[in-house]
């Protein structure tokens, strides 16, 4: 088996939404297609990848470093002992001549290609990724559905409390039991009004609402908000301070009794390990949100899972950021706690298969070989146009 062509492109995933740090009006995303010499139904098998959301496209790194290394590699150097495509070996090739640390958006570029390689490897085996992955890296008995929660509640110009409530009711109507909203983009008094308005929609049950600060707070503000929101008994309090400020996180964890979630902007095993070592995260209640697509791919995510196990963490405490199909397969195969979902946002890349149905906040997997982008028509058209 060998790689015959690689294609790289950029798609806009623009949106009018805003969190506490950024607006998404110019957000875009790298996509790649990796074509193989394996022919199925008269056509070469192609693996696809994209870089989740929240980080811009990484085309320069892909074009100048990552993809040339992959295409220049001896085809056999990308295969395991059985002669199957081995994404972990390809990972070593892509990272050749790269110094440790300073991960920046290199992890995004590698993550896109790693996703495409796993898509291709599982297509070659004729299996959906979650089965392929469960057999190799899980216990062979993947979950048949995955917990998902609806992330929204962004700030938008002229968005009223009623608009926010309507948005959340819409998520409940779609089958979600747990919802998430942004905080920290307004003052405490206004954010508390927003939180209470959403809890009203949830029949007064704060344990079905997560709040996300997107890393905005300093320690004093983090503690002030923590004191104010603790009585609501929220689902979690997310990314409270700067993602790399482990001391802040640990201090909040000493004072805030409810669950804390973070990790979506930690892009490497080393950063994830530092969070576990120094971030005060509590394995009995807190949630880890590393996004495999943004952080050197599934190859690195498997190393992160191994590290977590050594530190006494269950995979069930992981609920990746991003709301994409790749992490849905990973969640089912590695028995994670769930996956994020952004109904209607970050199109065409985000979300699950077109026929996916959410029931009681759980969604099933597709049986299409690979990640199943072929079952997501609008995105599949974009991916196919990249190479045909």
Q: What b/e readout covers 103-129, taking b as 16+ CB neighbours within 10 angstroms?
A: bebbbbbbbbbbbbbbbbbbbbbebbb
State the nearest-atom distance from the C-beta of 19 to Mg ion, in Å. 8
Neighbours of 234 (CB within 10 A): 21
Minimum distance between the CB of residue 264 and Mg ion, rounded to whole angstroms? 5
Stretch that binds Mg ion, among 31-39, 44-52, 184-192, 207-215 (CB under 5 A): 207-215
Q: Which residue number, 8 or 212, has a Cβ lying nearer to Mg ion?
A: 212
The minimum distance between CB 239 and Mg ion, in angstroms, equals 5
Residues 282-311 contacting Mg ion, CB under 5 A = none
CB of 44 to Mg ion, least distance (A): 38
Q: Give the range of 63-71, 82-90, 105-113, 210-218 binding Mg ion by CB under 5 A.
A: 210-218
Catalytic residue among 123, 127, 321, 335: 321
Which one-letter DSSP state was computed for residue 98?
-
> What's the token pair of residue 15?
């949106």
The answer to the question of residue 212 lying near Mg ion (CB under 5 A) is yes
SS3 track for 106-131: HHHHHHHHHHHHHHHHHHHCCCEHHH
Contact map string, positions 257 to 276, toward Mg ion, x by CB under 5 A: --------------------
DSSP string for 273-335: HHHHHHS---TTT-EE---TTTTTHHHHHHHHHHHHHHTT--GGGB--SS-BHHHHHHHHHHT
Shortest Å, Cβ 294 to Mg ion: 12
- Alpha helices, DSSP H only, in the chain? 59-61, 67-72, 87-94, 106-124, 129-137, 161-173, 188-201, 219-229, 246-255, 269-278, 297-310, 325-334, 377-387
Q: How far is the CB of 84 from Mg ion (least distance, A)?
A: 35
Among this protein's residues, is 159 annotated catalytic? no
Please, which residue, 212 or 300, has the CB nearer to Mg ion?
A: 212
The tokens for 208 are: 């079905």
Total number of residues shown for the chain = 388
Whichever of 167 and 212 has its CB closer to Mg ion, that residue is 212
Q: Closer CB to Mg ion, residue 54 or residue 369?
A: 54
Q: Which stretch binds Mg ion (CB under 5 A): 87-95, 206-214, 272-280, 371-379?
A: 206-214
Residues 279 and 326: their CA atoms lie apart, in Å, by 27
SS3 189: helix
CB closer to Mg ion out of 149 and 326: 149
* Six-digit token string for 344: 């209607």
Using CB under 5 A, which of the segments 101-109, 212-220, 331-339, 345-353 binds Mg ion? Answer: 212-220
Give the Å distances, CA to CA, from 357 to 327, 346, 353, 370: 17, 18, 9, 19
Residues 30 and 59 sit within 8 Å (Cβ to Cβ)? yes
Closest distance of CB 367 from Mg ion, Å: 30
Report the residue number, 181 or 363, with the smaller CB distance to Mg ion: 181
CB closer to Mg ion, 289 vs 299: 289
Q: How many residues bind Mg ion (CB under 5 A)?
A: 1
The residue range among 53-61, 100-108, 211-219, 274-282 that interacts with Mg ion, by the rule CB under 5 A, is 211-219
Binding pattern for the stretch 56-95 against Mg ion, x by CB under 5 A and - elsewhere: ----------------------------------------
Nearer to Mg ion, 184 or 206 (CB): 184
Q: How far is the CB of 168 from Mg ion (least distance, A)?
A: 17
Q: Could you tell me which stretch among 3-11, 78-86, 121-129, 209-217 binds Mg ion (CB under 5 A)?
A: 209-217
In three-state secondary structure terms, 260 is strand
Cβ-closest position to Mg ion? 212
Q: Give Rg (Cα) of the chain.
A: 20
Q: Is 180 a catalytic residue?
A: no
Single out the catalytic residue among 103, 123, 127, 182: 182
Q: Could you tell me if 85 and 126 are in contact, meaning their C-beta atoms sit under 8 angstroms apart?
A: no
Active-site annotation, residues: 182, 321
Binding footprint of Mg ion on the chain (CB under 5 A): 212
């Amino acid at each position: 088996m060998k790689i015959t062509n690689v294609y790289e492109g950029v798609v806009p995933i623009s949106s009018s939404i805003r969190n506490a740090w950024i607006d998404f009006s110019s957000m875009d995303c790298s996509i790649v297609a990796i074509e193989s010499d394996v022919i199925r139904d008269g056509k070469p098998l192609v693996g696809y990848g994209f870089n989740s959301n929240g980080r811009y496209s990484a085309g320069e790194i892909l074009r100048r470093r990552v993809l040339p290394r992959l295409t220049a590699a001896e085809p056999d150097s990308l295969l395991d002992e059985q002669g199957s495509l081995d994404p972990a070996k390809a990972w070593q090739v892509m990272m050749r001549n790269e110094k440790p640390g300073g991960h920046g958006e290199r992890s995004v570029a590698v993550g896109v290609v790693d996703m495409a390689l796993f898509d291709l490897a599982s297509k070659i085996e004729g299996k959906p990724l979650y089965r392929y992955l469960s057999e190799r890296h899980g216990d062979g008995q993947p979950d048949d559905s995955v917990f998902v929660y609806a992330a929204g509640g962004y700030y938008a110009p002229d968005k009223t409390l009623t608009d926010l409530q309507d948005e959340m009711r819409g998520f409940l109507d779609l089958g979600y039991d747990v919802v998430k909203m942004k905080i920290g983009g307004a003052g405490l008094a206004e954010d508390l009004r927003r939180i209470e308005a959403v809890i009203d929609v949830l029949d007064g049950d704060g344990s079905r609402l997560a709040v996300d600060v997107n890393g905005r707070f300093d320690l004093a503000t983090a503690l002030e908000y923590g004191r104010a929101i603790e009585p609501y008994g929220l689902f979690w309090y997310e990314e409270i301070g700067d993602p790399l400020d482990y001391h802040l996180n640990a201090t909040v964890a000493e004072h805030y009794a409810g669950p804390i979630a973070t990790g979506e902007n930690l892009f490497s095993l080393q950063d994830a390990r530092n969070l576990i070592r120094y971030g005060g995260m509590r394995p009995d209640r807190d949630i880890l949100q590393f996004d495999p697509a943004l952080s050197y791919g599934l190859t690195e995510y498997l190393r992160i899972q191994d590290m977590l196990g050594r530190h006494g963490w269950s995979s069930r405490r992981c609920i990746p950021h991003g709301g994409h199909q790749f992490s849905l397969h990973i969640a089912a195969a590695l028995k994670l706690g769930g996956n994020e979902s952004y109904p209607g946002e970050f199109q065409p890349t985000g979300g699950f298969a077109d026929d996916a149905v959410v029931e009681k906040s759980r969604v099933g997997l597709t049986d299409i070989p690979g990640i199943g982008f072929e079952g997501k028509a609008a995105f599949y058209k974009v991916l196919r146009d990249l190479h045909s």
